[in-house]
Structure 1
Amino acid sequence: MKLKNLFFILALGFVIFSCKKDDSTDVVFDAAAQSLLDDEALIEYLQTHYLNDVDGGIWTITNNETPLMGQVETQNITKNDISYKLYYLKENEGATVSPSRADSVLTTYTGMLLDSTVFDSRSSLTWLSLTKVIDGWSYGFTNFKGGDKIVNEDESFYFENSGKGILFIPSGLAYGNIGQIVIPANSPLVFQITLEDVNQSDDDNDSILSILEDIDQDGDVKNDDSDGDLIPDYLDIDDDNDGILTRDEDPNGDGNPLNDDTDNDGIPDYLDTDN
């Protein structure tokens, strides 16, 4: 079956942006069991659908076409001690650099449910931070690279050899058991994406790239809070809460607070309250 009509296309960002769980419910949800169900559903989808080379759409197999299952790669992800499998298909890897989960991406995309209902689509280029989207995006985009930027004489530009592919996301890396306006609870999602460009983000403008503020080096910058002020380091302009802005804790003046350790205790000044 080709993609259904765009019945429920949403405003930019509504679907892909992450949301907080509604804690008002007392129902115990078995996320581990749902992970297994999602994986079964995704495998069935991958076995019964193929990528149409003519129109780029995802169709139901009717005449021995090559199933998606034989073309995808698997990314194993652990979240809250639960294992998930994110499947992705690389139509083109891209030419430049891959984003980290703390970077921003210039992208176009179409998102749909497993029944082919399109719930969100963006055909014009837009920058999105991978710290503000569903986990399936923040992990999935790291498997691709940006394209080569070609600038015309009139300063207009376009991209060649961009990253392009499809993400097949279990609900636990999307919206879990919290339904959205047009996305039922516990819905695996499919996104056809392009990755045109990558911006290595410095979200708090403190002269340290956001990914370098991943102190525990687990790839997730949102769980690093050196001074315990409930503001993660990548958004905190004073990471050690000593009253001196992180970007000003650069005694050698090279613009990089990471390599300044005035008292030689192995802790850079911007994280050291006693320097």
Structure 2
Amino acid sequence: MKLRTLLASITVFTIIIFACSPDDPDFIPVEDRDRGEQQLADNDSIVNYLQTYYYNKTELAMMTNPEPSDIILKIFEGTPDDGYSLLFTDDNLLTRTTTFEDTQYTYYILKINQGGGTESPKFTDKVRVEYEGSLIGTDDSVFDSAVSPTDFNLVGGGINAGGVITGWQRVFPEFNTAASFMTGSDVTYDDYGLGVMFLPSGLAYFSRQLIGIPSYSNLIFKFALFQTQENDHDNDGIPSYVEDLNNNLSVFDHDTDENSIVNYVDPDDDGDGVLTINELERREYIVDTNLGEEEPVLNINEFELTRTESMGIITITTGTIVDANNNSIPDYLDEDATTDYSEDN
């Protein structure tokens, strides 16, 4: 489902504001530690937290659409209260690994609710969420939160301006969106993704110092995932996640024409003078909902380019990746393939 206009009530996000600047005379740069060594220390700290903290599992299960603020993480001096479950041994705790900056990281997800919607975001997409962030190993005070549904691009434009930390890019695709929503004076969501992520510093801000977040901080985010929207950052017809050519969950290391503009923000990926969107083969679908017709299931490598609707008639134009000269290189990445399919329309 498409995201609507960003809600006016938006928190000032400390997660994208640096605590100090190199221009500040009191600024002291923090030396980067070895990522592998830091990950070992971070994982020990996170595991220790998971082995000592509980959450209110029974109470959450009895709630209808609990919110991130309803999730209670608590340590007990003696016997835990009824209804609390130890994080480390709970069935809902998932352990995940990923490679980032040539380092293998382990992170953890408490999946409280999968979400009843049919969509899950890709790592480059836009998400609408609520969240609450805190530091592991402190008094659990919140350093940042969004208490109203708020939009984020998981990957920003260019140098990731407006993007988020790597941990978010890994975690949100594990969840589904809300099953439904109702609009009125407020938007009400039902059966949405809900969970907690436990992230090592290497999947967060690592050596960077931010307001409320010291260098090498391991982070906790309680969150709800409401909606998602597929991103095509350069509007070239290729969804941004598809521009991750080697499936390493990064779009920053692919620059086919070596023009110093990475593919996902380059409208002419192969630099052959024909825009990428025009190197996609066009197809038009007309769906008459008045007759009960359903929208088509698109083929692999076929993507929606435009959509119009009038009097119950939906017209969809798609573009399909093609390899006209059968050299195993898609036309839009092959500088020797210069067919302009837009000229056929």
- Do both share a fold (TM > 0.5)? yes
Name the CA distance, whole Å, in 2 between partners of 1:184 and 1:12.
Answer: 19
Name the CA distance, whole Å, in 2 between partners of 1:61 and 1:26.
Answer: 35
Name the CA distance, whole Å, in 2 between partners of 1:241 and 1:179.
Answer: 39
Question: What amino acid does structure 1 have at the position aligned with 2:218?
Answer: P
Question: What amino acid does structure 1 have at the position aligned with 2:146?
Answer: R
Partner of 2:272: 242
Name the CA distance, whole Å, in 2 between partners of 1:93 and 1:272.
Answer: 40
Are 1:15 and 2:22 matched, yes or no? no
Partner of 1:146: 177
Partner of 2:300: none
Between the two proteins, the alignment pairs up a number of residues equal to: 262
Partner of 1:99: 121
Quote how far apart the aligned CAs of 1:220 are. 1.8
Conserved 8 A contact 1:93-1:162: yes
Are 1:270 and 2:332 matched, yes or no? yes
Conserved 8 A contact 1:149-1:157: no
Structure 2 gaps, min length 5: 1-9, 23-27, 60-69, 156-162, 285-304, 306-317, 338-345
> Which secondary structure state, in structure 2, belongs to the residue aligned with residue 223 of structure 1?
coil
Written as runs of structure 1 = structure 2, the 5 A alignment for 1:53-64 is 53=57, 54=59, 55-64=70-79
Conserved 8 A contact 1:110-1:120: yes
Name the CA distance, whole Å, in 1 between partners of 2:132 and 2:151.
Answer: 15
Q: Against the structure 1 CA distance between its residues 238 and 14, is the aligned structure 2 distance closer, same or farther, given a 3 Å change threshold?
A: farther
Partner of 1:127: 151
Written as runs of structure 1 = structure 2, the 5 A alignment for 1:62-81 is 62-65=77-80, 66-71=85-90, 72-81=93-102
> Which secondary structure state, in structure 2, belongs to the residue aligned with residue 15 of structure 1?
helix
Name the CA distance, whole Å, in 2 between partners of 1:231 and 1:87.
Answer: 34
Partner of 2:289: none
RMSD: 2.6
Partner of 1:86: 107
Name the CA distance, whole Å, in 2 between partners of 1:178 and 1:142.
Answer: 25
48-57 or 234-243, which deviates more: 48-57
Q: Against the structure 1 CA distance between its residues 103 and 17, is the aligned structure 2 distance closer, same or farther, given a 3 Å change threshold?
A: farther
Name the CA distance, whole Å, in 2 between partners of 1:134 and 1:56.
Answer: 22
Question: What amino acid does structure 2 have at the position aligned with 1:104?
Answer: K
Are 1:45 and 2:39 matched, yes or no? no
252-261 or 181-190, which deviates more: 252-261
Indicate the structure (1 or 2) with the bigger Cα radius of gyration.
2
Are 1:203 and 2:225 matched, yes or no? no
Question: What amino acid does structure 1 have at the position aligned with 2:219?
Answer: L
1:10-58 Cα offsets, whole Å, 9 max, x none, are 954441689xxx8x96946222111111111111111111113554221
Partner of 2:309: none
Name the CA distance, whole Å, in 2 between partners of 1:17 and 1:103.
Answer: 22
> Which secondary structure state, in structure 2, belongs to the residue aligned with residue 87 of structure 1?
strand
Quote how far apart the aligned CAs of 1:78 are. 1.6
Quote how far apart the aligned CAs of 1:84 are. 1.3
Quote how far apart the aligned CAs of 1:165 are. 0.3
> Which secondary structure state, in structure 1, belongs to the residue aligned with residue 231 of structure 2?
coil
Question: What amino acid does structure 2 have at the position aligned with 1:97?
Answer: E
Name the CA distance, whole Å, in 1 between partners of 2:274 and 2:203.
Answer: 37
Query: TM-score, with normalisation over the residues of structure 1?
Result: 0.86
Identity over aligned residues, as a percent? 34
Conserved 8 A contact 2:282-2:320: no
Structure 1 gaps, min length 5: 1-9
Conserved 8 A contact 1:175-1:186: yes
Q: Against the structure 1 CA distance between its residues 64 and 98, is the aligned structure 2 distance closer, same or farther, given a 3 Å change threshold?
A: farther
> Which secondary structure state, in structure 2, belongs to the residue aligned with residue 70 of structure 1?
coil
Query: TM-score, with normalisation over the residues of structure 2?
Result: 0.69
Conserved 8 A contact 1:49-1:68: yes
249-258 or 177-186, which deviates more: 249-258
Name the CA distance, whole Å, in 1 between partners of 2:88 and 2:127.
Answer: 27
Quote how far apart the aligned CAs of 1:268 are. 2.2
Q: Against the structure 1 CA distance between its residues 155 and 87, is the aligned structure 2 distance closer, same or farther, given a 3 Å change threshold?
A: same
